[in-house]
Structure 1
């Protein structure tokens, strides 16, 4: 039925959102503001980094902070790369699943995160070679919930029938708008069993 499986990154393959959350709060500390996890989860998951900073400024009631926070974005990326490379929060069940799936399906990773965040984590987890295509925020003009990221991945793979695995509302909307079936998960630990059930794997 499916020619390919298209995976989101944060929250689907890796439990990286807590790392992003900690890094963003490190950026915000000099401004005297800290997000709660609930605020982060509600406003900052599945959106572009510029949109995230706008959301942070709105939460703090300080739109004038945007330029100052944006100037710290390179430092945030460096902290994230350092943390994620030291310990990739990818379940072993997901690593095993990817190794099994690549024998029967074309696999792609589709993320709004930057390539500098995604690729080192995949390499450290030993799964980079499982993916025939990687589409990140730099590769498209319109991020999720636009269908462009998933359509771009399908085009690179040369497929029309794909299963999208997503956790965020924006990502799920993107997959549906691209015309693909979407399998929703709420945490990286759910990904492997959910995909196995949907594909009828033992």
Structure 2
């Protein structure tokens, strides 16, 4: 891995849940609790299939899968109530703070591209406000009018990149993701993508990724002509 060399990048876009923030398990617990009220079991397989989706899309798939007698709005409200109690406890993933602070210190333009809503980000990042301050801007897909579709559509990454003052070309951007849908979105945006997936997901699903790692701690910035760690 040390000798791998990829195309040079100038800007970096980060997903949030499951990549920088250890929140996917908390989301899973929220969906599991609400599904149980309807006699349905929210399995890991179903969870994995919706990673990277916007909230409305996740809810729509759950209701369709189990044919639940409720509306998307009502179900989502129940989930949000559970999330408001669970998400503030979310911790940063190993290597996340080191990498983000390093890129910020060296003047590399970085931004957040998450499918979450503004309220959700505020809830789960309330104990990580300083960390959020390292990003040039935050693009929050579920409440951003310019993000027309959720991942695997490339919209969120293209919109996010366009908000840097120098408007980099897609091929000059590197995306960090944890999910198949996020990888596909980066591919569709013509951006290189480093994937750090959940260990339970089949690695064969990430063959179109530029690089697959077990942890952000393994990332070597110099492989993309970014400043190396001191």
Give TM class, smaller chain. 0.7 to 0.9
Distance in 2 of aligned mates of 1:122 and 1:106: 20
Aligned-pair RMSD on alpha carbons? Answer: 2.2
2:192 aligned residue (172, 177, 181)? 181
- Count of residue pairs brought into register by the alignment: 197
Q: Does the CA contact (< 8 Å) of 1:119 and 1:128 recur in 2?
A: no
Structure 1 portions without partners, runs of 5+: none
Look up the match of 2:181.
Answer: 170
Of 28-37 and 50-59, deviating more is: 50-59
Residue pairs, 1:57-96, within 5 angstroms: 57-60=63-66, 62=67, 64-67=68-71, 70-85=73-88, 87-91=89-93, 93-96=95-98
Of 44-53 and 104-113, deviating more is: 44-53
Q: Does the CA contact (< 8 Å) of 2:19 and 2:93 recur in 1?
A: no
- Distance change >3 Å, CA 136–CA 167, structure 1 → 2: same
Structure 2 portions without partners, runs of 5+: 1-7, 199-212
Distance in 2 of aligned mates of 1:130 and 1:93: 15
Of 173-182 and 49-58, deviating more is: 49-58
> Which structure ranks higher in relative contact order (CA pairs < 8 Å, sequence separation ≥ 6)?
1
TM (normalized to structure 1)?
A: 0.86
Q: Does the CA contact (< 8 Å) of 1:15 and 1:89 recur in 2?
A: yes
Query: Once the 2 structures are TM-superposed, how far is the Cα of residue 195 of structure 1 from its aligned partner?
Result: 5.4
Distance in 1 of aligned mates of 2:163 and 2:37: 42
Greater helix fraction, Structure 1 or Structure 2: 1
Q: Does the CA contact (< 8 Å) of 1:107 and 1:131 recur in 2?
A: yes
Q: Does the CA contact (< 8 Å) of 2:139 and 2:160 recur in 1?
A: yes
Q: Does the CA contact (< 8 Å) of 2:95 and 2:215 recur in 1?
A: no
Look up the match of 2:163.
Answer: 156
| 1:73-100 deviation per Cα after TM superposition (whole angstroms, max 9, x unaligned) | 1232232133221x22213521122111
TM (normalized to structure 2)?
A: 0.76
Q: Does the CA contact (< 8 Å) of 2:175 and 2:192 recur in 1?
A: yes
Distance in 2 of aligned mates of 1:159 and 1:122: 27
Distance in 1 of aligned mates of 2:133 and 2:12: 15
Equivalent residue of 2:102, what SS?
Answer: helix
